Amino acid sequence: MRRLIYTSRSLVPPSEIDQIMASSLRNNDHVGVTGMLWAWDDWFAQVLEGDFEQVSATMRRIRADPRHTDIEVLLDREVMCRQFGSWSMREADDGEATAFMVGFARCERSNGAQRLYDIVVSSLGR
Ligand code: FAD
Protein backbone atom coordinates (compact mmCIF):
# COMPACT_ATOMS: atom_id res chain seq x y z
CA MET A 1 0.00 0.00 0.00
CA ARG A 2 1.37 3.37 -1.02
CA ARG A 3 0.66 6.75 0.56
CA LEU A 4 1.54 9.95 -1.25
CA ILE A 5 1.03 13.45 0.12
CA TYR A 6 1.62 16.62 -1.87
CA THR A 7 0.87 20.31 -1.77
CA SER A 8 0.16 22.61 -4.71
CA ARG A 9 -1.04 26.16 -5.45
CA SER A 10 -4.51 26.50 -6.86
CA LEU A 11 -5.04 28.51 -10.05
CA VAL A 12 -8.83 28.33 -9.88
CA PRO A 13 -11.58 29.72 -7.65
CA PRO A 14 -12.98 27.57 -4.81
CA SER A 15 -16.08 26.89 -6.92
CA GLU A 16 -13.93 24.55 -9.09
CA ILE A 17 -13.39 22.18 -6.19
CA ASP A 18 -16.76 20.49 -6.65
CA GLN A 19 -15.77 19.52 -10.20
CA ILE A 20 -12.37 18.27 -9.06
CA MET A 21 -14.06 16.22 -6.34
CA ALA A 22 -16.58 14.76 -8.81
CA SER A 23 -13.92 13.42 -11.19
CA SER A 24 -11.77 12.29 -8.25
CA LEU A 25 -14.63 10.28 -6.74
CA ARG A 26 -15.50 8.73 -10.09
CA ASN A 27 -11.95 7.79 -11.07
CA ASN A 28 -10.57 6.79 -7.68
CA ASP A 29 -13.48 4.50 -6.93
CA HIS A 30 -12.67 2.41 -10.04
CA VAL A 31 -9.05 1.84 -9.10
CA GLY A 32 -9.17 1.58 -5.32
CA VAL A 33 -7.46 4.88 -4.62
CA THR A 34 -8.63 6.62 -1.44
CA GLY A 35 -7.65 9.79 0.36
CA MET A 36 -8.58 13.34 1.04
CA LEU A 37 -8.24 16.74 -0.52
CA TRP A 38 -7.71 19.78 1.66
CA ALA A 39 -8.06 23.30 0.27
CA TRP A 40 -7.55 26.66 1.86
CA ASP A 41 -6.77 30.07 0.40
CA ASP A 42 -4.83 29.15 -2.76
CA TRP A 43 -3.35 25.97 -1.31
CA PHE A 44 -4.21 22.35 -1.99
CA ALA A 45 -2.93 19.43 0.04
CA GLN A 46 -3.91 15.91 -0.92
CA VAL A 47 -3.40 12.42 0.48
CA LEU A 48 -3.57 9.54 -2.03
CA GLU A 49 -3.53 5.93 -0.88
CA GLY A 50 -3.66 2.72 -2.88
CA ASP A 51 -1.86 0.30 -5.11
CA PHE A 52 1.56 1.61 -6.24
CA GLU A 53 0.71 1.74 -9.96
CA GLN A 54 -2.76 3.20 -9.43
CA VAL A 55 -1.38 6.02 -7.29
CA SER A 56 1.22 6.67 -10.02
CA ALA A 57 -1.43 6.80 -12.74
CA THR A 58 -3.63 9.13 -10.65
CA MET A 59 -0.67 11.35 -9.86
CA ARG A 60 0.29 11.57 -13.55
CA ARG A 61 -3.14 13.02 -14.36
CA ILE A 62 -3.02 15.36 -11.37
CA ARG A 63 0.44 16.65 -12.39
CA ALA A 64 -0.86 17.47 -15.88
CA ASP A 65 -3.86 19.40 -14.57
CA PRO A 66 -3.70 23.14 -15.42
CA ARG A 67 -5.89 24.02 -12.44
CA HIS A 68 -2.93 24.02 -10.08
CA THR A 69 0.83 24.52 -10.07
CA ASP A 70 3.97 24.13 -7.90
CA ILE A 71 3.24 20.51 -6.97
CA GLU A 72 5.56 19.40 -4.19
CA VAL A 73 5.51 15.81 -2.97
CA LEU A 74 6.02 15.79 0.81
CA LEU A 75 5.76 12.06 1.39
CA ASP A 76 5.73 9.00 -0.87
CA ARG A 77 6.14 5.69 0.89
CA GLU A 78 4.81 2.25 1.58
CA VAL A 79 2.40 2.02 4.50
CA MET A 80 0.70 -0.90 6.22
CA CYS A 81 -2.85 0.38 5.97
CA ARG A 82 -4.99 3.24 4.76
CA GLN A 83 -5.65 6.30 6.87
CA PHE A 84 -8.61 7.36 4.71
CA GLY A 85 -9.91 3.96 3.63
CA SER A 86 -13.59 4.83 3.47
CA TRP A 87 -13.34 7.70 1.00
CA SER A 88 -12.62 7.48 -2.75
CA MET A 89 -11.82 11.12 -2.17
CA ARG A 90 -13.06 13.30 0.60
CA GLU A 91 -12.97 17.05 0.90
CA ALA A 92 -11.25 17.66 4.20
CA ASP A 93 -13.52 19.92 6.18
CA ASP A 94 -13.55 18.39 9.62
CA GLY A 95 -11.39 17.99 12.67
CA GLU A 96 -10.19 14.47 11.89
CA ALA A 97 -8.64 15.40 8.57
CA THR A 98 -7.12 18.58 9.98
CA ALA A 99 -5.67 16.64 12.91
CA PHE A 100 -4.07 14.18 10.48
CA MET A 101 -2.47 17.00 8.46
CA VAL A 102 -1.17 18.77 11.56
CA GLY A 103 0.15 15.50 13.02
CA PHE A 104 1.87 14.54 9.78
CA ALA A 105 3.38 17.96 9.06
CA ARG A 106 4.56 18.52 12.62
CA CYS A 107 6.59 15.30 12.61
CA GLU A 108 8.29 15.64 9.21
CA ARG A 109 11.61 17.40 8.75
CA SER A 110 11.24 18.84 5.26
CA ASN A 111 10.65 22.52 4.56
CA GLY A 112 7.54 21.58 2.57
CA ALA A 113 6.02 19.79 5.57
CA GLN A 114 6.90 22.69 7.84
CA ARG A 115 5.18 25.05 5.41
CA LEU A 116 2.12 22.78 5.31
CA TYR A 117 2.03 22.85 9.11
CA ASP A 118 2.07 26.67 9.08
CA ILE A 119 -0.68 26.79 6.43
CA VAL A 120 -2.98 24.32 8.20
CA VAL A 121 -2.50 26.02 11.56
CA SER A 122 -3.19 29.47 10.08
CA SER A 123 -6.34 28.06 8.41
CA LEU A 124 -7.69 27.12 11.83
CA GLY A 125 -8.17 30.79 12.63
CA ARG A 126 -10.26 31.42 9.51
P1 FAD B 1 -12.70 14.90 -16.65
O2 FAD B 1 -12.82 15.17 -15.18
O3 FAD B 1 -13.93 14.54 -17.37
O4 FAD B 1 -11.96 16.15 -17.34
C5 FAD B 1 -11.57 16.09 -18.73
C6 FAD B 1 -10.30 16.90 -18.97
O7 FAD B 1 -10.58 18.28 -18.80
C8 FAD B 1 -9.17 16.54 -18.01
O9 FAD B 1 -7.95 16.54 -18.71
C10 FAD B 1 -9.19 17.68 -17.00
O11 FAD B 1 -7.88 17.91 -16.45
C12 FAD B 1 -9.68 18.83 -17.84
N13 FAD B 1 -10.45 19.82 -17.11
C14 FAD B 1 -11.65 19.61 -16.53
N15 FAD B 1 -12.08 20.75 -15.97
C16 FAD B 1 -11.14 21.69 -16.22
C17 FAD B 1 -11.02 23.07 -15.92
N18 FAD B 1 -11.99 23.72 -15.26
N19 FAD B 1 -9.92 23.72 -16.33
C20 FAD B 1 -8.96 23.07 -17.01
N21 FAD B 1 -9.02 21.78 -17.34
C22 FAD B 1 -10.10 21.10 -16.95
N23 FAD B 1 -8.35 13.19 -10.40
C24 FAD B 1 -8.50 11.93 -9.95
O25 FAD B 1 -8.84 11.04 -10.73
N26 FAD B 1 -8.26 11.63 -8.65
C27 FAD B 1 -7.87 12.55 -7.73
O28 FAD B 1 -7.68 12.23 -6.55
C29 FAD B 1 -7.69 13.89 -8.18
N30 FAD B 1 -7.29 14.88 -7.36
C31 FAD B 1 -7.09 16.14 -7.83
C32 FAD B 1 -6.60 17.13 -6.98
C33 FAD B 1 -6.37 18.41 -7.46
C34 FAD B 1 -5.83 19.47 -6.52
C35 FAD B 1 -6.62 18.72 -8.83
C36 FAD B 1 -6.38 20.10 -9.35
C37 FAD B 1 -7.09 17.74 -9.67
C38 FAD B 1 -7.34 16.45 -9.20
N39 FAD B 1 -7.84 15.46 -10.02
C40 FAD B 1 -7.96 14.17 -9.55
C41 FAD B 1 -8.25 15.74 -11.38
C42 FAD B 1 -7.20 15.29 -12.36
O43 FAD B 1 -6.17 16.24 -12.41
C44 FAD B 1 -7.80 15.10 -13.75
O45 FAD B 1 -8.41 16.29 -14.17
C46 FAD B 1 -8.84 14.01 -13.74
O47 FAD B 1 -8.31 12.84 -13.15
C48 FAD B 1 -9.26 13.71 -15.18
O49 FAD B 1 -10.39 12.90 -15.05
P50 FAD B 1 -11.23 12.49 -16.32
O51 FAD B 1 -10.31 11.78 -17.28
O52 FAD B 1 -12.39 11.72 -15.79
O53 FAD B 1 -11.60 13.81 -16.99
Burial annotation 64-88 (CB, 10 A radius, 16+ → b, else e): eeeebeeebebbeeeeeebebeebb
Rounded to two decimals, what is the model's pTM?
0.90
| Residue range 63-95, pLDDT digits in tens | 999 999 999 999 999 999 998 887 777 777 767
Cα(26)–Cα(33) distance, integer angstroms: 10
DSSP one-letter string for the chain: -EEEEEEEEE-S-GGGHHHHHHHHHHHHHHHT-EEEEEEETTEEEEEEEE-HHHHHHHHHHHHT-TTEEEEEEEEEEE-SS-SSTT-SSEE--SHHHHHHHHHHHHH--SHHHHHHHHHHHHHTT-
Is the shortest distance between the CB of 34 and ligand 1 below 6 Å? no
Residue nearest to atom 21 of ligand 1 (CA): 66
Determine the distance separating the centroid of ligand 1 and the alpha carbon of 65, expressed in angstroms. 6
Confidence of residue 100 (pLDDT cuts 50, 70, 90): confident
More confident residue, 97 or 115: 115
Give the position, in ligand 1's atom list, of the atom nearest the Cα of 27: 25
Cβ of residue 66 lying under 6 Å from some atom of ligand 1:
yes
Is pLDDT at 126 greater than 70 in this prediction? no
Q: What's the pLDDT band for 109 if we cut at 50, 70, 90?
A: confident
pLDDT reading at 30 higher than 90: yes
How far, in Å, is the centroid of ligand 1 from the Cα of 109? 31
